[in-house]
Amino acid sequence: MVIGSRGTPEYLGVSSPTVAVRQLSIAGHMDVNREVPSYNEDALRRRISVTNHAFLPPYTVAMKYFQAQHCMIGMIFNFVSEEEFERHLRECLLQLPDINDAEACLKYCQVLMVMAFGQMYAVNIYYNADGPPGFAYFAQALQYLPDIHTNPSVLFCGVLSLIGYFMQNLIRRDAAFMYLGLAQRMALSLALHEEVSIPGFDETLKEQRRRTWWSIYSIDRIFCIKYGNPVTMHDEDISVALPNRLPHEPEYCSAVVLRHYTMLSQILSQIMDRIYRKTAKNGGQLMAAVQDIMRALIKWEQELPSELRMTSTEIHRREAVSTYLHYYQCISMTARPLLFWVVEKRLQEGTTEDWRAGLPQATTGIIEMCINAAKDTIAIMNAAADKDLVTVFGYMDGEHCFCAALVMVVVNIALPYNEKNAQSMEAGLALLESLASKGNHHLDARHQMLLQLLHRGQLRSEGDIVPDYNEPDFMPTLHQHALDGVFPPEATTDLDLLNFKAAYSRSDMNIESDLQHMSNFPGSLSWQEIEQPSHDLGETDGLIYQLQ
């Protein structure tokens, strides 16, 4: 159990990065469990009258917001097409919905949620005391959301999913999981998880059902592994086809992106089931599972279309960034228990010898994959940030950055010094701080936690006494990118916010990034290395304990 953003106990399982930190002996009694909310809870608690509606922006601004959300999440979570959104937007601009008309309210909710995400990603800096950009649209969408006992629909499933995902951006893990759960159960009631043959269901409608289901599926799998919750529905019970492009769609379209992202989410499901599930396991079983999953990841990467591939020189598409971050997350979540097992053994023994000594080649290779995945994540995110393609308040961007920086911090604490590892850690911490300086209080707390963990590790390596308590006044300043006086006044219009955003440049952060420093995975690990015998891990009690 941890203390959530509202001060109440909440469950976190072993796959959660928070639990991973807590299991490190170097963490001592650090307060790693408490989360910091990203909004004013009183603002969301207020019940706004639907008559005091948040006016929608002009059509041109609304379409810019749509494009912003489509760029950042619309290609990997496909809940609304541009044609559908434009149609609903025009209806909403003509008149407010009748609160007794559930479908009209759902359309308005959908438009408001797209506006919320679009403003969050387009403005990308904290400017209002109530919450991040888009918060006002989000709060209004909640007021128009029909009762759950209203007739289910594909549109309703999508709206609930968007609300759940926005809740997670606010660090409301409990609410996010419940809204997403409602969306999933409603989807089950509509048989979205199965192929159906119903008169009047043409291929376009069937494909919309598929894309909605698999979008919900991916968010659910991400939430489950990040919270450490059990998988809510097993893949064996899902028979609907993967997303695919329609005949009128181009060869490369959002359906192609969603398909490959979904395939990674299916691998994530295997990771939850075979590595983090609370069942009896031994070192041999764990390594067999790790090898199987790594084979699946290598096969997935080999089959990736050229449009989604990352190059070593430039980033062209945000959806490629999202897909590769998801890919590296799968690698990290698969191999992290092995890495942390080695780290904890070295911390307890105080050894300085080569960490590879006594470990099978396959085991050391997989641990190195975890380290390389973290370094590549940091390199990609810094390169994407240079192109303004990293979201300050986006849950997954912050989570990817934190988890990669965490890996590099523990590597630099426990493993022999390596200049590239140290540089990657510095870059990850600097990126975290740059996001925090724009108003993400949750990432600010996580950044401070990593600095505190690093400080304790440095004390230990120098032979000093590491205090077995949390140091509340410890505010290290390894990096200083504080932005004083950059926030615009409150009550600005959408156009003012967009103009302010255009004038604000990340170049002031002076954070270096170079994709050419990536480890070029999976080329760094061969099939032969994965196939090496690895059943003998020696004493694995500590490793298995971490997974119980």
pLDDT of residue 21: 78
Region of poorest pLDDT, from 63-77, 90-104, 196-210, 274-288: 274-288
pLDDT of residue 7: 63
Q: Read off the pLDDT of residues 202-213 as tens digits, 9 standing for 90 and up.
A: 899 999 999 999
Q: Read off the pLDDT of residues 208-249 as tens digits, 9 standing for 90 and up.
A: 999 999 999 999 999 999 988 888 899 999 999 999 999 999
Contact 448, 475 (CB under 8 A): yes
Contact 149, 422 (CB under 8 A): no
pLDDT of residue 516: 58
Give the mean pLDDT of the chain. 83
Q: Read off the pLDDT of residues 449-476 as tens digits, 9 standing for 90 and up.
A: 999 999 988 877 665 555 554 444 333 3
pLDDT band at 511 (very low <50, low <70, confident <90, very high): very low
CA-to-CA distance for 126 and 167, rounded, in angstroms? 16
CA-to-CA distance for 65 and 421, rounded, in angstroms? 38
Contact 67, 117 (CB under 8 A): no
The residue written with tokens 């300085």 in the block is 352
SS3 at position 129:
coil
Averaged pLDDT for residues 392-400:
94
pLDDT of residue 452: 93
Averaged pLDDT for residues 308-334:
89
pTM for this predicted structure: 0.86
Type of residue at 186? M
Q: Read off the pLDDT of residues 26-79 as tens digits, 9 standing for 90 and up.
A: 777 676 666 676 777 766 665 555 555 557 999 999 999 999 999 999 999 999
Contact 19, 10 (CB under 8 A): no
CA-to-CA distance for 140 and 105, rounded, in angstroms? 11
Q: Which of 303, 318, 206, 313 is nearest to 264 (CA)?
A: 303
pLDDT of residue 510: 38
The answer, yes or no, to whether residue 525 has pLDDT greater than 50, is: no
Give the DSSP H/E element, type plus range, for residue 132: none
Whether the ω angle into residue 522 lies within 30 degrees of 0, i.e. cis, is yes
pLDDT of residue 13: 76
The answer, yes or no, to whether residue 10 has pLDDT greater than 90, is: no
Averaged pLDDT for residues 515-535:
52
Q: Read off the pLDDT of residues 121-164 as tens digits, 9 standing for 90 and up.
A: 998 777 677 889 999 999 999 999 999 999 999 999 999 999 99
Averaged pLDDT for residues 486-505:
46
Region of poorest pLDDT, from 337-346, 437-446, 461-470: 461-470
Ranked by mean pLDDT, the top range of 115-129, 156-170, 285-299 is 156-170
Which residues have CB under 8 Å from 36's CB, separation 6+? 5, 171, 441, 442, 444, 445
Contact 127, 490 (CB under 8 A): yes
The answer, yes or no, to whether residue 504 has pLDDT greater than 60, is: no
